[in-house]
Amino acid sequence: MSFDSLGLAPALLRALAEYGYTQPTPIQAAAIPAVLEGHDLLAAAQTGTGKTAAFALPLLQKLSTSGQTMTRRPRALILTPTRELAAQIHENMRDYGKHIHVSATTIFGGVGMGPQINALRRGVDVVIATPGRLIDHMQQRTLDLSAVETLILDEADRMLDMGFLPALKRILQSVPKRRQTLLFSATFAPAIKTLAMEFMHSPKEISVSAPNTVTTLVSHQVHPVDASRKRDLLLHVLSQDSRRQSLVFSRTKHGADKLVTFLNASGLRAAAIHGNKSQNARTRALSDFKSGRVTVMVATDIAARGIDIEQLPIVINFDLPSVAEDYVHRIGRTGRAGMEGLALSLVSHDESGLLFDIRKLLKQDIAITPVAGYEPSAPLRLDAGAPRPKQGGGGQRQQQRAPRQGKPAGAARPSGYAPQGRGEHAAGNQRRRSNRRPAAKA
């Protein structure tokens, strides 16, 4: 299948060819025609399989071909959970839309309101926003959402969980009822799906793989270790190949800072990205990591969703996430666009229960391999009653989550953890990566 057969305009096809996309990924092949036909969509596809272009291309096409050029009000609104993801989607839209006249801007916190107000005053077709700052603009009447024809929630299940739901409900009241609504994510818990149905019009469900599954391009490994020795084991792992770009997830902001101090003192080039950092520091950490100026980025779950780091070979969970779905997103930063990747988790006895949850969600065994010299004093417990870290130690997100109903659905997965092929990403890594632009400017 080629992009030509999906009904996209020649100007978009030209940009894709220049960008090095030769064929659509499965989610793009399924979603692009459905969006062009005007359907509401609940679309699930694994991490790193091109969901951004699956909504951005048909959106650009619709905006460039259907009139209403007199309005200065935005005709499309894309919501994301983080500023970095909003900036990244903006960058993707600029690349895909370089030969058409569709304007877009980002609206997110941590940066001045002034330039955002100016951009909105000049008039834009697409607003890509995080909910908090968007509501600030709505309150100050610097943004009018009454002309929105298309509403897109990227990382939709996150946008619908308890942390964002109140903001989302307010935004929904300000956009027209008659609109197209598109939801994209790699994971959809059943309760979230039910909630989503309430504000969509007979949506089409598109799922190009079994729900909540993790990309087969990633192999998983667990190193059991005592909590007190995790830092040293991390250093040991990172030192094996100090030039390798490694994304390390920490459950808390404070923990991330402490790790960075430790790693820098040990001679590695590390930077932290989390919600207590200034937007400047966040943007710099990500761009330094993307450019290779720092080799280790220690992140909280702020970097778990959607962020696309070219050819990232490894994700390390210094702490396991308290919500199993977050594991899928975290480790999905590697194994993207047809490349293989490694997900390594350092797991202490008190996190055994979280590992149990993850294995249950993935329906997959994960190899547990102790590292010589770092063997834990007690083995991990892998049963439902296994211990979990006490809440309050940074698992704040869990309390914000919508209650989950029933078990997450998932196809039976083969056991073992070896990579199982490259089937998920039709386009593979054939695209000319040299065409790509430098790291995102926020």
Ligand X SMILES: Nc1ncnc2c1ncn2[C@@H]1O[C@H](COP(=O)(O)OP(=O)(O)OP(=O)(O)O)[C@@H](O)[C@H]1O
Identity of the residue, 48 or 224, whose beta carbon is nearer to ligand X in the bound complex:
48
CB of 194 to ligand X, least distance (A): 21
Question: Does 213 interact with ligand X (rule: CB under 6 A)?
Answer: no
For ligand X, the binding residues in 267-306 under the rule CB under 6 A are: 306
Per-residue contact track with ligand X, 154 to 193, x per CB under 6 A? --------------------------------x-------
Does residue 335 touch ligand X according to CB under 6 A?
no
The least distance separating ligand X from the CB of residue 186, rounded to whole angstroms, comes to 4
For residues 140 and 142, what is the distance between their CA atoms, to the nearest angstrom?
5
330 near Mg ion, rule: CB under 5 A: no
Q: Which residues contact 70 (CB under 8 A, 6 or more apart)?
A: none
C-alpha distances (whole Å) from 246 to each of 167, 290, 344 are 34, 11, 10
- Segment interacting with Mg ion (CB under 5 A) among 27-35, 47-55, 113-121, 283-291: 47-55
Question: DSSP letter string over 349-410?
Answer: GGGHHHHHHHHHHHT---EE-PPTT---SSPPP-STT---PPTTSS-HHHHHSPPP-SPPP-
Interface with ligand X includes 94 (CB under 6 A)? no
Spatial neighbors of 187 by CB under 8 A, at least 6 apart, are 44, 157, 211, 212, 325, 328, 329, 408
Is the torsion defined by CA of 310, 314, 318, 319 positive or negative? positive
Q: Where are the alpha helices (DSSP H) in 202-323?
A: 230-240, 253-265, 279-291
306 binds Mg ion (CB under 5 A): yes
25 lies in the binding site for ligand X (CB under 6 A): yes
Instruction: Say how far apart CA 36 and CA 39 lie, in whole Å.
Output: 8
C-alpha 98 chain-centroid distance: 24
Using the rule CB under 6 A, is 431 a contact of ligand X? yes
Measured distance CA(153)–CA(169) in Å, rounded: 13
How far apart are CB 283 and Mg ion at their closest, in Å? 19
| 336: contact with Mg ion by CB under 5 A | no
Among 12, 15, 30, 49, binds ligand X (CB under 6 A): 49
Shortest Å distance, C-beta 418 to ligand X = 22
| Rounded least distance, CB 44 to Mg ion, Å | 12
52 is a contact residue toward ligand X (CB under 6 A): yes
Q: Name the binder of 342 from ligand X, Mg ion, none, CB < 5-8 A by kind.
A: none
Least distance in angstroms from the C-beta of 375 to ligand X: 34
Q: How many residues bind Mg ion (CB under 5 A)?
A: 2
Q: Which of 39, 51, 137, 179 binds Mg ion (CB under 5 A)?
A: 51
* 46 and 19 Cβ atoms separated by less than 8 Å: no
Kindly tell me which of 26 and 306 has the beta carbon lying closer to Mg ion: 306
Q: How far is the CB of 333 from Mg ion (least distance, A)?
A: 11
Using CB under 5 A as the binding rule, whether residue 335 contacts Mg ion is answered as no
Strand partners, 129: 79, 107
| Tokens standing for residue 327 | 């594991």
| Residues that contact ligand X, how many (by CB under 6 A) | 20
CB 352 within 8 A of CB 381: yes
- From ligand X, Mg ion, none, interface partner of 189 (C-beta below 5 to 8 A by class): none
Nearest to 370 by CA among 342, 343, 346: 346
Bridge pairing between strands 104-107 and 314-317: unpaired
Pairing outcome for strands 180-185 and 150-154? parallel
Which H helix or E strand runs over 53?
helix 51-65
216 scored as a contact of ligand X (CB under 6 A):
no
Cβ(370)–Cβ(223) below 8 Å: yes
End-to-end Cα distance, the chain = 34
Of the ranges 47-55, 99-107, 170-178, 390-398, which one interacts with ligand X (CB under 6 A)?
47-55
Choose between 64 and 429: whose C-beta lies nearer to ligand X.
Answer: 429
Measuring CA to CA, which residue among 336, 329, 256, 330 is closest to residue 296? 256
Q: Is 48 in the site for Mg ion (CB under 5 A)?
A: no
Of 12, 21, 171, 253, which lies in the binding site for ligand X, with binding defined by CB under 6 A? 21
Q: Does 50 bind ligand X (CB under 6 A)?
A: yes
Which residue number has the CB closest to Mg ion? 306
Stretches 49-57, 240-248, 351-359, 405-413: which one binds Mg ion (CB under 5 A)?
Answer: 49-57
By CB under 5 A, tell whether 329 contacts Mg ion: no
Cα–Cα separations (whole angstroms), residue 415 to 103, 197, 215 = 47, 34, 14
Which residues of the shown chain bind ligand X in the complex (CB under 6 A)?
Answer: 21, 24-25, 28, 45, 47-53, 186, 306, 308, 332, 336-337, 427, 431
